[in-house]
Structures are given as structure tokens and as C-alpha cells.
Amino acid sequence: MSSFDIAIIGGGIAGLSAACFLAEDRGDGSRIAVIERESQPGYHTTGRSAAMYTEVYGNATIRAMVKAGRPFLKTPHARYCDRSFLSPRGALMIARDDQVHRVGEFLREMNRPDVLEQVDRDRCLQISPALDPDYVAGGVHEPDAMDIDVHALLQGYVRVFRGLGGQIIADAEVRSITRRNGVFAIDAGAGQIEAPLLINAAGAWGDVIAGMAGAAPVGLVPKRRTAITFDAPAGTNPGNWPLTFDLDEQWYFKPDAGRILASPADQTPSEPCDAQPEELDIAICIDRIETASTLEVRRPASKWAGLRCFVDDHSPVNGFDDRIEGLYWLVGQGGYGIKTSPVMARIAVSQIAGRPIDDDILAHGLRPANLGVERLRGQ
């Protein structure tokens, strides 16, 4: 039996960012363990993400956390990375003739004239030259949207956590959890682990883990998203193209390591699993991209799928369980887990330590009640 002060189930971006910041807050990570069912951290959703930093998508809770996390992502301390996690990309949301009347509605809802500009058809084609001129009527440009280096960010969390003595226990699928005398005993395959504080950062398996610990589910719904990469047209250099997507989020494409990454932006409910792409979704992706652009997908160079998890109101769950003492939820980030990770982790550190959430986070309009488990319990 290995004893710790804190056990975190899930070695994705949520679990490792929390582990890292908790270790920093304590000045020592040797009493913190991250339990990961796979052989390496970030195997599932984290390792399959094409994350973008943009402050104008998701609900108000997501947008507040993203804005608060910008300083960390843009200028991390050297212990995390010797360069920014962000790099220029830009984003272009386009609308067809039958959609263009809704562009104004979107701009009013976001109310961010400082980062968004409405653009006409010709400007859309200048910004994203692969678009089909007959498909585009207008759009919205976010010049300052940025790529996130997901690998560097995850490895930064891992490096700092391990540097403070933190332990990542891999190949450790949780089989059972029991709680006696205020301590959780976790059978994780690799051995027995016990800790008085258990953080549930298990992603798609979050409700399953909660059930093992005796807690009621929060209603997590994993949803599959598919992606492919394919070769850019001969003689073109797509490196400066933006993320390009449609107003109804039915497709997107962006440059990726010399190729084009594309997705049908599918959200198919799924059981927790090692998600794999379906051939129908790949075919839909190719059809949508070829309909909206002049690109031809002769054969995907790679294909994959990942699970994005949601509760009913599409805000994350970040707080102590309302019934099981010592159980902390850190799940439900949807498609925003990468860019919210530094702030989600800071919020968890504050609440676990019994401190108020930092003012620089609350200054962006975050309401802590919108993260708590209680909002999902009908209380």
C-alpha cells in the first residue's frame, strides 16, 4: 500500500495541471500521485487535440477562464517552457448566403470589437485562399487567435510536477475505490494507493470513477470528434492560413505540420472508450471540406478521434462533491480543456486549500457557482 496526501485519477491535461500547481503551492509534490490507466500521460483526449487559443467561443464561464489564462500561456515561467505556448494563427468563421444574416447576431453576443472584425466575401478569400468563392458570403475574422503547443504545455506540467517529487503511476487502471476512516483506498492494478483527498480528473470515465467512490454522477456525456490530415495542394504553402470554420460549426480546417488538418466537428455521444474514427464520419468530413473549399482530399494521411465531455450546461465541474467528503471533481471541460487548464488548476488549488479564488480570475466575470457540483444536483 502506497500512501499519499492527494491521489489524482487521470493523467490528461486536467489532472496533470492540477498536480503541478498543487505541488507548487505546497512546495513539494512527493505526497501527490497521478494515477493513469495508459502507459503515458495525455493518451486520450489531450493527445488528440488541435487546440486553439481564442477568447470568443464557448459559454461565458469558458470565456472568462480562457481570458484569465492568457498570461500563463503567452509568457510561461522558464521552468515550464523557454518560449510561449502560443503562436500566431488567426481564425476565420465564414457564412454562406443563407447564414450571413446571423453574423451580426454573433458579433453582438460576443461583444468583442477589440478582437473580432466583420469581413466581406473578398476579404474572406484573401485571408483563407482555399475557400470556394461560390460558397462564401462573408464572415468574422479573429486575427489574434493562436495555436497552442499542446505537447509542450503537457510536458511543462509533467516536468515541473516530477521536479517537485510528484509521482505519475502509469499502466494503472482503477478497479475499485473504497473509503474508510476518511481515506480512499484505490485498487489501481499497479498496487493499492491510499489518500484522504481524491481528485477525479478521469475525463470520459469521470462518472464511472465517481460511482466507484460512492458519489452520484454529474451527467457527463462523452462525445466523439473525428479528425484527419491530408496533403496540401501541390505548389501551395498553407503555413499562414488561419483556422477556418463555418458559422454552424459543421467543419473546420487548419494547417498542421505541413499538411491540412480537418474535422466534420462531429459530436456523437459515446460510451467512455479509446475512441476510434468511423468511416462514415471521415467521409462526411471529406465531403464538407471539398464542398466549402477548393481542397481535394485524395487520401487521408492520418485519422483519429477523441472524446470531449459535457454536462448539461456545458460548463466544467470544478469543486468538492456535495456528499462524499474528500472527493474533488475536475471534469466536463468539453472542447476547452487545454486552454482552460491553467485556470482550472488554479481554481482547484484555491478551493482545496480553502482560499478564495484569485481576484485576477474573478475579474473576468467568472461566477464560482457555475463550476460547482451543487448546480447539477437540483439544489
Residue 81 lies in a domain: no
The whole model's pTM is what?
0.95
Contact 211, 217 (CB under 8 A): yes
Contact 47, 207 (CB under 8 A): no
At residue 272 the predicted structure's pLDDT band, cuts being 50, 70 and 90, is very high
Q: What is the CATH number of the domain that holds 277?
A: 3.30.9.10
Same domain, 358 and 298: no
Whether 47 shows a pLDDT value over 60: the answer reads: no
Measured CA to CA, the distance from residue 179 to residue 161 in angstroms comes to 26
pLDDT for the residue numbered 235: 86
**pLDDT computed for residue 7 by the predictor:** 98
For the cut 70, the answer to whether the pLDDT of residue 16 exceeds it is yes
Residue ending a domain, choose from 283, 310, 337: 310
Show which of 264, 281, 310 is a domain's final residue.
310
pLDDT at 198 (0 to 100): 98
Q: Which residues contact 236 (CB under 8 A, 6 or more apart)?
A: 130
Average pLDDT of the residues in 99-110: 95
Task: Based on the fold, state whether residues 166 and 215 are members of the same structural domain.
Answer: yes
Residues 10 and 55 in one domain: yes
Q: Is 76 domain-assigned?
A: no
What is the extent of the structural domain holding 49? 2-70+150-219+313-376
10 Å CB burial of residue 51 (0-12, 13-18, 19+) is: buried
Residue that has been written with the C-alpha cell 496540401 in this structure? 232
Same domain, 370 and 241: no
Residue 183 lies in a domain: yes
- Picking from 310, 334, 358, the residue at the C-terminal end of a domain is 310
Residue 15 sits in the same domain as residue 37: yes
Same domain, yes or no: 124 and 233: yes
Over residues 342-358, the pLDDT tens digits come to 999 999 999 999 999 99
What count of Cα atoms within 13 Å lies in the side-chain half-sphere of residue 129? 9
**CATH number of the structural domain spanning residue 17:** 3.50.50.60
Judge whether 346 lies within some domain: yes
Mean pLDDT, residues 118-143:
97
For the chain, how many structural domains are there in total? 2
The CA distance from 63 to 48, in Å, is: 22
